[in-house]
Copies of this chain bind each other. A is one copy, B any other.
Amino acid sequence: MDVHARRIPDATVARLPEYLRILVELAGQRIDTVSSERLAELAGVNAAKVRKDLSYLGTYGTRGVGYDVDYLLFQMRQALGVTQDWPVVVVGAGNLGRALANYAGFSDRGFPLAAVVDADEAKVGTAVGDVTVRPMSDLAEVVKAHQPVIGVIATPGAVAQLVADQLVAAGVTAILNFAPALVSVPQNISLRKVDLALELQILSFYQSHRDPGTTTRGWP
């Protein structure tokens, strides 16, 4: 396989996990071949886009036939780097942190929970699903034991930057931030942000601007 793969566009990267999810589903249904058209339908995108996206991974399709589900699945996992599990450390044992820790969707898809840590002494020692909340001081140790680890920030926004710094110091190189705050990290650390209220506000925007005549908002 050509190792020097073209750089994959960000927009494509963001879609790959979706394709992966669909391929897993198809494989589970014992479907062994899929066309870009079908894949596009399942992913809710354009067929040409699917083909272009997949072509960044290499030439894995067969003209006139489609893509071999198992083979594509393998290549996709390879590309995404999810051939092995990535343990996750959740920082913050509040409502969100506990939910994320319990959320089966993580471990099911290759992201087992390594630990939950919290700065609040009162929370340390309490149970969260299968694990017990550990003190922040255990962070470095946990990270070392499971490297490579993904850090998940589930704290109030005010301490998000502090937590991020501690994660980086502990050796975490990928961080998913759920706190509503901007955090900055060194260049070589991967960082993504998910802000739940922000998503609702985006919905609110489109709802308020959708076809002013039919809005349910402000009924007489």
> Which positions in A face B, CB cutoff 8 Å?
8, 13-14, 16-18, 20-21, 42-44, 79-82, 86, 88, 95-96, 98-100, 102-106, 108-111, 147-148, 150, 171, 173-176, 180, 182, 184, 188, 190, 192, 194-211, 214, 216-217, 219
Given contacts A80-B208, A174-B206, A203-B192, contact A95 B99 (CB under 8 A): yes
Q: List 14 A-B contacts (CB under 8 A).
A: A14-B202, A16-B202, A17-B198, A18-B198, A44-B182, A80-B208, A82-B201, A95-B102, A99-B102, A103-B196, A105-B197, A108-B197, A150-B203, A173-B216
A198 near B21 with CB under 8 A, answer: yes
A205 near B80 with CB under 8 A, answer: yes
Given contacts A21-B180, A194-B196, A198-B17, contact A81 B188 (CB under 8 A): no
